[in-house]
Amino acid sequence: MTTVDQLAALRTPAGEAALTAAATLVGDDPLTAATALRAQGVAPDLAAAALTQATLRTRAVAKFGPDAHRMFFTRPGLEQATRAVVAARRAARLAAAGVRHLADLGCGIGADTIACAQAGLQVTAVEADPATAAVAAANLAALGLTDRATVHAGRAEQADLSDVDAVFCDPARRTRTGRRLFDPDTFSPSWDFLLTLPHRVPRTVLKLAPGLDHARIPTGAEAAWVSVDGDLVEATLWHGPLAEVPRRATVLRDGQVTELTGSGRVAAPTGPVRGYLYDPDPAVIRAGLVAEFAATMSGHLADPTIAYVYADTAVATPLARCLAVEQVLPFSLKRLRATLRTAGIGHVEIMKRGSAVDVEHLRRQLRLSGTGAATLVLTRVAGSPTVLVCQRLP
């Protein structure tokens, strides 16, 4: 854990030099790297802190891009921090809605504070942990944003919201030992406190884990799920004037943004397996928008409980991956093995939804030896265990 004193030391000229040297040693054996820094005259404590930061900066590039090399991190802070591309999109939406002064409660290392400040908002950030608050303040300074945002060490419950026109809160969802918390009643600040915020400041946004129980969604709030390159990263509740639709799926893939909205309460039609299978993005599934997606493809489900969509045509869409269905078989190991051997299939990708089959055990049982490749989809069709032999499309 980075302490306030360690952070202060890293921001001195000697600390900056140690960070520069440490950056060249990332990936080396830790003892060897520490010895190399000490050989350059870096004090042991400073060497350890510099190596920790250099390692975290390297990991943080995936979330923050090139800015990561100028920023400071804690391990838990980096894990919970919003990806820069997601934070920037949220900040742009807040700015477009007319928000001018935002309170960021539980700002962590400052990811959303930074994005909102970069979008032109004035931000008052609050963080309960003094060391993490110091890291957030250091990041604002490193990125030249201290004129637009300030960080205060304190509890979110005690923050003065009298002069802000919007609130963003990302409650802590880990214990001090790093264990993830999934029950909203164990969050900090508490779920009960979070529910009071829209009554105090109507334009409130809550960032939560993507496994959010739909039963927890307050009446009138917009619930949005966000994925990045197929990785489901967060759920967000937008309140008051910020709520535009009941449900939203935001899919960021290869630098492009695609959204799907709807009520999340529509049941998709069902029918037989057709020529193409669409596997919807996890944001679409968690948002409950599979029926809305099926409508865009003129498709349907083959089982009302399984989120695979079947259609007659193949259409490229960021909202789902598409496979051509070549064979539909009742699940039988013997029959499946014979079918794959006849087709010369020696390599398979195995997908499953609605199946209890152990994928790796099945792979061993197939004993494949051909040169061809296929995707096997273990699923149910009208309640019956089924395997689809498919080919993935670009």
Residue 116 and residue 240 in one domain: yes
Is residue 194 one of the residues assigned to a domain?
yes
Is residue 323 one of the residues assigned to a domain?
yes
Contacts of 69 (CB under 8 A, 6+ apart): 23, 57, 61
Nearest to 182 by CA among 194, 191, 169: 191
User: DSSP code of 180?
Assistant: B
CB-based contact 157:182 (threshold 8 Å)? no
Nearest to 103 by CA among 185, 181, 189, 173: 189
Is residue 258 one of the residues assigned to a domain?
no
- CA-CA distance, 181 to 76, in Å (whole number)? 13
Last residue of a domain, one of 52, 73, 94: 73
H helix runs in 104-144, sequence order: 111-118, 130-142
Q: Which helix (H) or strand (E) holds 272?
A: none
Last residue of a domain, one of 244, 259, 286: 244
Is residue 270 one of the residues assigned to a domain?
no
Residue 137 and residue 22 in one domain: no
Q: Is the peptide bond before 189 cis (omega within 30 degrees of 0)?
A: yes
Strands (E), the chain: 101-105, 122-127, 149-153, 166-169, 204-208, 222-228, 231-238, 247-253, 256-262, 276-280, 300-301, 309-311, 320-330, 345-352, 372-381, 384-392
pLDDT the model gives residue 158: 95
Give the CATH number for residue 113. 3.40.50.150
Nearest to 113 by CA among 87, 93, 75: 87
Domains contained in the chain, number: 3
Nearest to 108 by CA among 87, 90, 129, 123: 129
HEC sequence for 182-213: CCHHHCECCHHHHHHHHHHCCCEEEEECCCCC
Q: What is the chain's pLDDT, residue by residue, as a tens digit (394 residues)?
A: 568 888 999 999 999 999 999 999 888 888 888 889 988 988 999 999 999 999 999 999 999 999 999 999 999 899 989 999 999 999 999 999 999 999 999 999 999 999 999 999 999 999 999 999 999 999 999 999 999 999 999 999 999 999 999 999 999 876 565 567 667 777 888 999 999 999 999 999 999 999 999 999 999 999 999 999 999 999 999 999 999 999 999 999 998 999 999 999 999 999 999 999 999 999 999 999 999 999 999 999 999 999 999 999 999 999 999 999 999 999 999 999 999 999 999 999 999 999 999 999 999 999 998 899 999 999 999 999 999 999 999 7
Specify the pTM: 0.91
Residue linked to tokens 């026109």: 165
Q: Is 321 helix (H, G, I), strand (E, B) or coil?
A: strand
Residue 11 and residue 45 in one domain: yes
Is residue 100 one of the residues assigned to a domain?
yes
Residue 221 and residue 283 in one domain: no
Is residue 36 one of the residues assigned to a domain?
yes
Is residue 251 one of the residues assigned to a domain?
no
User: DSSP code of 270?
Assistant: B
Residue 227 and residue 121 in one domain: yes
Domain that holds residue 119: 78-244
Residue 161 and residue 55 in one domain: no
Is residue 268 one of the residues assigned to a domain?
no
Q: Which amino acid is at 109?
A: I
Residue 121 and residue 240 in one domain: yes
Residue 100 and residue 229 in one domain: yes
Residue 57 and residue 191 in one domain: no
Residue linked to tokens 């838990």: 76
Strand partners, 380: 385
Residue 240 and residue 283 in one domain: no
Last residue of a domain, one of 222, 244, 266: 244
